[in-house]
Amino acid sequence: MNRYYSSSVGLGLLLILGLSLQNCKKDDPATPTGPASGTTTPGTSTTATTKSTGPVLLTDPVVSNVGSFSARITAVINGNGGEAITGHKLFVVQTASQRLDNQYELGATSGPFPLTITQAVTGLAANTNYTVYFTATNKVAVVQRATTFTTTTIASTTTAPNGNAVTVKAPFPGQTRRLARIFTLANKLYVLGGWDQTQSAAADLTDLWQYDPATDKWSAKAALQVPNALRLDYTLPIMLIDGQAHALVTVQTGTTASTRTSFIYTYDPTTNKWTAKGQAPFVGSWRTVMSLNGKGYAVGGWRSAQHALIRREAGVAV
């Protein structure tokens, strides 16, 4: 009985094992239902939307034909960055002071690109370091490139077409200026005052320089120091009488610039001193002055601070 039981159990176990092996058969691989990763179904687009940029400037401006007072600038716009170029310009500044000497507005452009721009630049100072900037603008950005150059020194001697020679003398050692007063006394040249535009706020200059052609040298002389003087660049006519220089200086005498009086200051080159003289019976600027028979004359000019009225009058002896 016990053996029969054992045989029945063995047969049952064999049956269970066979069913288990049948159920352990591997599943077949699944059939792909779409395109493989990294591929594109035929007929679809892969082009992405391109984002606009600023104008394309791949190189710095190129400077050529550099002289004492001029140069030629060449710049290239390689592309518009996907947007219309609404403006491009070129400007030249003195590198040390960042004073703007020239600016050329060149306007909008539609190419074709690459577009080469060539511009002659004039009115520069000799032997001066400059930085030239070139910019192009569209609605996305303003793009700028820059380069530096140095103008040449003036030739020591230049021959004119008629055969005459022009010789360069000692350079002026003072500050760059405009509207300076220039006069001569005792065979010497004098430069007085002017307007310094190299500063962020333009300033009057009161210094005096003497040039001696016999020695080819400049010397600093006594400055014209006048308290409350107004705009010495255009209110400073000079009359030369009896070997001395007489300057008409407009001075603010009240709390506002409209309250003003003119005084005469005299420079004596033998003592290198300025001396305050009498008050003039008029005020104004841009007067024409002259000397005749030991007397000075002042004619015309502007009367008001706003330059709204021209003063026309007969010469006034002073």
91 lies in the same domain as 181:
no
149 lies in the same domain as 188:
no
Looking at residue 251, what is its pLDDT?
A: 76
> Is position 48 within any domain?
no
Extract the residue ranges of the chain whose pLDDT is less than 50. Answer: 1-9, 11, 13-15, 17, 21, 24-26, 32-47, 305-318
CATH number of domain containing 139: 2.60.40.10
Residues pairing with 135 in the sheet:
89, 144
Residue 55 · residue 138 · CB < 8 Å: yes
Place of tokens 């792909």: 32
- pLDDT, one tens digit per residue, over 201-221 is 667 888 999 999 999 999 999
226 lies in the same domain as 135:
no
> Is position 69 within any domain?
yes
Domain boundary among 173, 204, 229: 173
- Structural tokens at position 5: 């039981």
The CA-based angle 231-245-305, given to 5 degrees, is 20
Spatial separation of the C-alpha atoms in residues 1 and 11, rounded to whole Å: 16
Looking at residue 259, what is its pLDDT?
A: 66
> Is position 46 within any domain?
no
Backbone angles phi, psi at 305, to 5 degrees: -65, -30
186 lies in the same domain as 297:
yes
Domain that holds residue 311: 174-317
Domain boundary among 173, 206, 238: 173
- pLDDT, one tens digit per residue, over 75-106 is 999 999 999 999 999 999 999 888 888 899 99
Looking at residue 304, what is its pLDDT?
A: 54
CA dihedral sign, ordered 199, 202, 205, 209: positive
